[in-house]
Amino acid sequence: MTANGTYAPARMHGDRVDWVDYAKGICIIMVVMMHSVLGVEAAAGQTSFMHYVVEFARPFRMPDFFLISGLFLAVVIDRDWRTYLDRKVVHFAYFYVLWVTIQFAFKAPSFAAEIGWAGVAKLYALSFIDPFGTLWFIYLLPIFFVVTKLTRRLSPLLVWGTAALLESLHVSTGWMVPDEFCGKFFYFYTGYLFARQVFALSDTARARPALALGGLILWVAINAAIVSLGWADLPLVSLLLGLAGACAIITAGTLLAERRWLDGLRFCGEHSIVIYLAFFLPMAVSRTLLLKFAPFLDVGVIAIAVNVAGVIGALIIWKLAVKSGATFLFERPDAFWIAPRRKTAGLQPAE
């Protein structure tokens, strides 16, 4: 806190808020971790110590990602529909179509061996209705953006309360879009509706780091206890754990940003969508190689190595794409813009 009683401004990296990127970095690494650990365990036919880390993060891993994605929506929600749809729908639709096609290109032979090429074609067509594999996050985001704008004139508390009810119902239809919409829209809308309170939380953590650290330790103990007791999926409990975990990641991101510790996390957060799009390939390759050529390693150690390979490998793919001129993989070409292009497009989950 400054001498006149106001909070010191958040640290910035260019025009980006550091703690936001730190929080996103933590989130994307946890997402890759989940896929890496579960994939290794499924292939090895056994669980590992990393399974408990994944379970610990499950109540808040995606809620935090969606909450952060809604943080800056208030700045752009009043744009005309053409610009809004371009930035919030066409943007993500382009990358979904591109990368679901890339994923199918790699996985089609193995799919065909099981269900035939006709089955592969059917599965590919179905992926545009029911999001495929790891890409469901960028499939759901445009829906959240559109629903939030369409409900702009409704009572925010009514929308928020309805979203909380939907989360608590734990809807399970077997289709990802309705199930994940009901389970995650609450957190996205919370980020949008309570953005000022979220930034105030970060300000408080920055002003009182000792108190913030104590709160994080208490949260770890409570979250771990509830998960171990098997209560994490109970109605209302899941909602509270999601909110508490999101606050914890925001607090942790703020403390790390202030100390400039683990700056690689900030870099990962700044490029979180790059990692999200491309990690599947280095993850799958490293998993296959390690299980085949290093079976003597503990399954948990292999899972950690695969996690690291997924994150770093995705960034390497991005760098190679930029250097080789294949920028269309991570930057939307001019032909796929329906509104005047920004000077710096990039891959941003929230403007």
Is the alpha carbon torsion for 335, 340, 344, 349 positive or negative?
A: negative
Predicted local distance difference test score (pLDDT) of residue 2 = 36
pLDDT at residue 162 above 70?
yes
Least confident span in 12-26, 31-45, 83-97, 231-245? 12-26
Predicted local distance difference test score (pLDDT) of residue 342 = 72
Predicted local distance difference test score (pLDDT) of residue 11 = 66
pLDDT at residue 69 above 80?
yes
Beta bridge partners of 234: none
Q: What is the pLDDT of residues 185-234, one digit of tens each?
A: 999 999 999 999 999 999 999 999 999 999 999 999 999 999 999 999 99
For the chain, what is the mean pLDDT? 93
Long-range pairs for 183-186 at CB < 8 Å and ≥24 separation?
184/62, 184/63, 184/66, 184/140, 184/144, 185/66, 185/144, 185/147, 186/160, 186/239, 186/242
Which amino acid, 77?
I
**pLDDT mean over 18-35:** 96
* Cβ atoms < 10 Å from Cβ of 247: 21
Q: CA separation (Å) from 121 to 94, 103, 231, 314?
A: 20, 13, 40, 27
Predicted local distance difference test score (pLDDT) of residue 349 = 40
**pLDDT mean over 67-96:** 96
pLDDT at residue 1 above 90?
no
Helix or strand (DSSP H, E) at 13: strand 12-13
Domain ranges, ordered by start, for the chain: 12-336
In the structure encoding, which two tokens stand for residue 342, read together? 């920004």
pLDDT at residue 16 above 60?
yes
In three-state secondary structure terms, 23 is helix
**pLDDT mean over 97-115:** 93
Predicted local distance difference test score (pLDDT) of residue 343 = 62
pLDDT band at 341 (very low <50, low <70, confident <90, very high): confident
Least confident span in 91-100, 264-273, 305-314, 338-347? 338-347
**Dist CA 177 CA 99 (whole Å):** 18
Residues 6+ apart with CB under 8 A from 64: 23, 26, 27, 187, 242, 245, 246, 249, 250
pLDDT at residue 135 above 60?
yes
Residues 6+ apart with CB under 8 A from 174: none
pLDDT band at 348 (very low <50, low <70, confident <90, very high): very low
Beta bridge partners of 117: none
In three-state secondary structure terms, 12 is strand
DSSP, res 89 = I
Predicted local distance difference test score (pLDDT) of residue 132 = 87
Beta bridge partners of 17: 12
**Dist CA 200 CA 211 (whole Å):** 15
DSSP, res 17 = E
Predicted local distance difference test score (pLDDT) of residue 12 = 65
In three-state secondary structure terms, 175 is coil
Q: What is the pLDDT of residues 146-159, one digit of tens each?
A: 999 999 999 999 99
Asked if residues 41 and 115 have their Cβ atoms less than 8 Å apart, the reply is no
pLDDT at residue 241 above 50?
yes
In the structure encoding, which two tokens stand for residue 36, read together? 């890496």
Question: Considering only CA atoms, which of 340, 332, 321, 344 is closest in space to residue 98?
Answer: 332
**100-106-107-109 Cα dihedral, nearest 10 degrees:** 130
Does the pTM of the predicted model rise above 0.85?
yes
The per-residue DSSP string of 70-88 comes to TTTHHHHTTS-HHHHHIII
**pLDDT mean over 20-35:** 96
